[in-house]
């Protein structure tokens, strides 16, 4: 059993639920600088060990893992502090929102001997797990191409104080999910190009960066992929279109994993067509609170995998290197939006001495 503490109690709510429900984790303390929120969570979970001071987590020798759910622009500093204090780290996506600290964090992870795991939660959702297992078992043959999107009406998010900052980008916050799917299946993306814009809804709200984006990718072996993100407009009914989806087209079959809908479809190489949905047992496990804004089940899946990796000494993926690879891809995507040019990922990595 691993002793865990949680920093940032917005999305950290899912992690509290996951830790308390897991036999592999022992929740020691929760932390948010907003004391009201600490009290609210303490009440909600009847768990009363909270602090508003991150230092209390860092200096508590009982804590082995710190799980970080602060705003994107604070992750780098919070991860750095955790490693400097000898803690294993779980950091939610996007791992960092700028590569300038990447080298330092990799070196720190190496010198501390501690593990860093990136909470790419969507990989740990039931339909995505099933799609990966089928793919690994050769059900659709060799991968030809992959398409992924994350489309959601996230106008409610614009009420958060950090959403209207110059450094808040849905490119990192939202597209880190489908971009991670692409890298999960095609790790060696060589080039990217894309277009983006701020929609009239985003402009009205005062958003500073793109809320509507489409990208295409080319891998080193010539295979291509595409990703899109749309965040300030209504969505299609879920029976017609999933908010987040990953489609694999293979030499002998194809598959599609739909996230919130807990739906998966596949055409196998034997010509079988299957649509799989998961019922109440899974819905209750994944969605523990009202609505679908938090999905604690996938957090429990990844936290238990990370706890196993510490206990059994294996690498849990995405690790820090894979996470930084995805951030490099996101940074290249950002650059193609700004320049209108095709961006090579290696040029970005070289700039930050990462290759």
* Using rule CB under 6 A, residue 71 touches ligand NAD: yes
* Using rule CB under 6 A, residue 88 touches ligand NAD: no
State the binding string over 97-136 for ligand NAD (x if CB under 6 A, else -): ----------------------x-x---------------
| Rounded Cα–Cα distance for residues 246 and 249 (Å) | 10
| Rounded Cα–Cα distance for residues 298 and 129 (Å) | 10
State the binding string over 146-185 for ligand NAD (x if CB under 6 A, else -): --------------x------------x------------
Cβ closest to ligand NAD, residue 219 vs residue 230: 230
Cβ closest to ligand NAD, residue 34 vs residue 200: 34
> Can you list the alpha helix ranges (DSSP code H) found in the chain?
12-21, 35-45, 54-58, 75-84, 102-112, 126-136, 170-173, 176-185, 200-205, 280-286, 296-312, 320-339, 345-351
* Using rule CB under 6 A, residue 69 touches ligand NAD: yes
Closest alpha carbon to 293 in 157, 92, 202, 151: 157
| Rounded Cα–Cα distance for residues 111 and 2 (Å) | 21
Q: What is the SS3 assignment for 162-222? A: CCCCCCCCHHHHCCHHHHHHHHHHCCCEEEEEEEEECCHHHHHHCCCCCCEEEEEEEECCC
* Using rule CB under 6 A, residue 59 touches ligand NAD: no
* Using rule CB under 6 A, residue 60 touches ligand NAD: no
Count H helices and E strands in the chain, helices first.
13, 15
Handedness of CA 79, 158, 45, 176 (dihedral sign): negative
| Rounded Cα–Cα distance for residues 2 and 64 (Å) | 7
> What are the Cα distances from residue 99, in Å, to 76, 257, 345?
10, 30, 12
* Using rule CB under 6 A, residue 7 touches ligand NAD: yes
Q: Which of 64, 72, 134, 211 binds ligand NAD (CB under 6 A)?
A: 72
* Using rule CB under 6 A, residue 38 touches ligand NAD: no
* Using rule CB under 6 A, residue 15 touches ligand NAD: no
* Using rule CB under 6 A, residue 267 touches ligand NAD: no
Cβ closest to ligand NAD, residue 179 vs residue 219: 179
User: How many binding residues for ligand NAD (CB under 6 A)?
Assistant: 22
CB atoms within 10 A of CB 101: 18
Cβ closest to ligand NAD, residue 39 vs residue 269: 39
Q: Which of 2, 15, 17, 70 binds ligand NAD (CB under 6 A)?
A: 70
Where does this chain touch ligand NAD (CB under 6 A) — which range of 6-14, 194-202, 327-335, 347-355? 6-14
* Using rule CB under 6 A, residue 56 touches ligand NAD: no
Q: Verify cis geometry, omega within 30 degrees of 0, for the bond prior to 94.
A: yes
Where does this chain touch ligand NAD (CB under 6 A) — which range of 66-74, 251-259, 261-269, 324-332? 66-74
Judged by the rule CB under 6 A, the positions of this chain that interact with ligand NAD are 7-11, 31-34, 37, 54, 69-72, 74, 92-93, 119, 121, 160, 173
């Amino acid at each position: 059993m691993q002793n865990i503490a949680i920093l940032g109690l917005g999305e950290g709510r899912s992690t509290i639920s996951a830790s308390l429900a897991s036999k592999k984790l022992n929740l020691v303390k929760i932390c948010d600088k907003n004391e009201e929120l600490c009290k609210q969570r303490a009440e909600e979970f009847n768990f009363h060990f909270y602090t508003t001071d991150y230092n209390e987590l860092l200096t508590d020798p009982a804590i082995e893992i710190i799980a970080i759910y602060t705003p994107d622009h604070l992750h780098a500093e919070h991860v750095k502090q955790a490693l400097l204090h000898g803690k294993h780290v779980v950091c939610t996506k996007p791992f960092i929102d700028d590569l300038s600290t990447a080298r330092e964090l990799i070196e720190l992870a190496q010198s501390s001997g501690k593990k860093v795991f990136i909470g790419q939660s969507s990989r740990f959702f039931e339909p995505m797990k099933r799609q990966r297992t089928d793919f690994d078992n050769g059900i659709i043959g060799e991968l030809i191409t992959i398409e992924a999107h994350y489309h959601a009406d996230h106008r409610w998010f614009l009420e958060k104080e950090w959403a209207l900052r110059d450094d808040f980008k849905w490119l990192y916050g939202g597209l880190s999910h489908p971009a991670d799917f692409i890298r999960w299946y095609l790790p060696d993306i060589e080039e990217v190009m894309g277009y983006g814009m701020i929609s009239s809804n985003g402009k009205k709200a005062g958003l500073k960066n793109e809320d509507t984006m489409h990208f295409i990718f080319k891998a080193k072996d010539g295979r291509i992929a595409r990703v899109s993100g749309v965040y300030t407009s209504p969505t299609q009914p879920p029976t017609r279109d999933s908010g987040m989806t990953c489609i694999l087209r293979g030499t002998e079959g194809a598959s599609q994993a739909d996230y919130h809908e807990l739906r998966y479809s596949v055409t196998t190489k034997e010509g079988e067509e299957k649509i799989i949905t998961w019922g109440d047992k899974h819905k209750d496990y994944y969605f523990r609170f009202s609505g679908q804004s938090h999905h604690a089940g996938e957090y429990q899946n990844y936290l238990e995998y990370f706890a196993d990796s510490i206990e059994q000494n294996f690498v849990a993926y995405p690790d820090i290197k894979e996470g930084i690879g995805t951030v490099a891809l996101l940074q290249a995507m950002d650059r193609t939006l700004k320049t209108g040019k095709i961006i090579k990922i290696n040029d970005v990595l070289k700039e930050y001495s990462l290759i």
